[in-house]
């Protein structure tokens, strides 16, 4: 099974993370799902996370679910080359990384914007998206 990244498709920052991963995940390790999709909604519900206010992306690697900066670290650790250095953020103490993450997450629409249109996928992107039966 390939690993999965679940992201808020309305958030410009989160969609940027998706596009970054799509571009740099040359081995196509990850599949993707939007938080708004049936699969995304099911995963957020299983984790007791809000199903309308997505303050974290989910990164699932080797069946382990990561949230907040740990999700970024898990994704970066899976990429080749110099991007792996960003995985070091997982070693920041929780008292520092969680408030920083929540500050950005709560203000992400104000800081980075919100998409008013649906995410349009070209055929190469579409094959990387997971379905509810993933």
pLDDT, tens only, 30-48: 999 999 999 999 999 999 9
Q: How many domains does the chain have?
A: 1
The structure's pTM equals 0.84
The H or E element spanning position 32 is strand 30-34
Q: Is residue 133 part of a domain?
A: no
Average pLDDT over residues 85-99: 89
Residue 131 domain-assigned? no
Residue 56 domain flag: yes
The answer to whether residue 132 is domain-embedded is no
Model pLDDT, residue 118: 63
Residues in contact with 76: Cβ distance below 8 Å, sequence separation at least 6, in sequence order? 83, 84, 85, 86, 87, 89
Distance in angstroms (rounded) separating the CA atoms of residues 48 and 42: 10
Which pLDDT score is estimated for 9?
Answer: 87
Q: Is the dihedral of CA 4, 23, 25, 107 positive or negative?
A: negative
Residue 7 has pLDDT above 90, yes or no: yes
Is residue 92 included in any domain, yes or no? yes
- pLDDT above 80: residue 96: yes
> Which residue range is the domain that position 92 belongs to?
3-126
By residue count, the chain amounts to 134
């Amino acid at each position: 099974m390939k690993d999965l990244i679940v992201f808020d498709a309305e958030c410009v920052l989160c969609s940027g993370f998706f596009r970054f991963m799509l571009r740099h995940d040359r081995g196509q390790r990850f599949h993707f799902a939007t938080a708004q999709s049936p699969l995304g909604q099911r995963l957020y519900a299983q984790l007791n996370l809000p199903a309308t206010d997505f303050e974290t992306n989910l990164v699932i690697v080797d069946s382990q679910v990561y949230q907040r900066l740990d999700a970024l670290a898990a994704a970066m650790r899976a990429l080749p080359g110099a991007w792996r250095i960003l995985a070091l953020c997982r070693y920041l103490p929780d008292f520092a990384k969680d408030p920083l993450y929540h500050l950005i997450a709560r203000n992400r629409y104000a800081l980075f914007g919100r998409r008013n249109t649906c995410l349009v996928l070209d055929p190469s992107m579409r094959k990387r998206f997971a379905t509810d039966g993933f």
